[in-house]
């Protein structure tokens, strides 16, 4: 685990100050910015005992490697979420809701998926180590704090992990444009894992074959597919709808 973690942007920093304030060690803010949003953040940091440093934009750019930061960068201790899937599943009191991402390598898409997963109550997001982006600064910023609350578990062998999930009687529902039934026809009130493929390529063959059910998202217009983060939101909130 890294000795420290860089958090960029208001959402990511505020989420950490709210969830684990003692882990935030230093806060760097744009010296020229004095609006109410910035002042409120500084007050939160002061209350948490975090050192606040007004600095130039060049310094902030250097801390984030040029990624967008909104004039706010924090240095924090890494926050430990569940380290493996068994740790997540062994403690669940509600029906399992997992999200499996096969081949999502764009940090903006992953960040958006994590944000949606948090909103829908997903217990963990799972991805293969060889075909996925890690939790870098861009992911954390786009996730708007969700990277701090939803376990993101990267596995060596995705197909094997999916088979392990099936052994726990969790249904694997894959999304496929060619599937005969729609997501609205699938019963997702029980223990399930949604399986999403990368935009364009979709799921890999073995990933698709390991799914219990394949379903498509009904499309009424001229486009053939949705961005993976949008498709993820549609599927996850179909689960929320059915469970309510």
CA–CA gap between residue 134 and residue 107 (Å, rounded):
8
CA–CA gap between residue 108 and residue 223 (Å, rounded):
21
Q: H-helix or E-strand containing 100?
A: strand 97-102
190 in a labelled binding site: no
Per the CB < 8 A criterion, the answer to whether 197 and 82 are in contact is no
62 in a labelled binding site: no
226 in a labelled binding site: yes
Q: H-helix or E-strand containing 25?
A: strand 24-30
Q: Which residues are registered as beta bridge partners of 97?
A: 192
Of 140, 151, 142, whose CA–CA distance to 74 is shortest? 140
Binding residue ranges for S-adenosyl-L-methionine: 197, 217, 226
Binding residue ranges: 197, 217, 226
């Amino acid at each position: 685990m890294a000795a420290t973690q860089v958090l960029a942007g208001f959402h990511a920093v505020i989420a950490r100050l709210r969830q684990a304030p003692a882990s935030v060690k230093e806060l760097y803010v744009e010296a020229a910015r004095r609006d109410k949003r910035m002042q409120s953040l500084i007050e939160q940091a002061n209350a948490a005992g975090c050192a606040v440093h007004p600095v130039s934009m060049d310094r902030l750019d250097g801390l984030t490697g040029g990624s967008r930061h909104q004039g706010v960068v924090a240095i924090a201790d890494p926050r430990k979420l569940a380290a493996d899937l068994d740790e997540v599943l062994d403690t669940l009191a509600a029906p399992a809701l997992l999200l499996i991402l096969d081949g999502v390598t764009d940090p903006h898409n992953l960040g958006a998926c994590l944000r949606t997963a948090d909103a829908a109550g997903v217990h963990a997001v799972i991805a293969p180590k060889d075909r996925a982006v890690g939790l870098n600064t861009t992911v954390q910023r786009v996730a708007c704090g969700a990277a701090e609350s939803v376990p993101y578990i990267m596995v060596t062998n995705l197909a094997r992990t999916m088979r392990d999930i099936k052994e726990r009687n969790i249904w694997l529902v894959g999304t496929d444009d060619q599937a005969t039934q729609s997501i609205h026809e699938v019963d997702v009130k029980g223990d399930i894992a949604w399986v999403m493929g990368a935009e364009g390529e979709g799921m890999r063959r073995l990933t698709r074959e390991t799914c219990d059910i394949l379903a498509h998202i009904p499309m009424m217009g001229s486009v053939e597919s949705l961005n993976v983060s949008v498709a993820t939101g549609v599927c996850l909130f179909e689960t929320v709808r059915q469970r309510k």
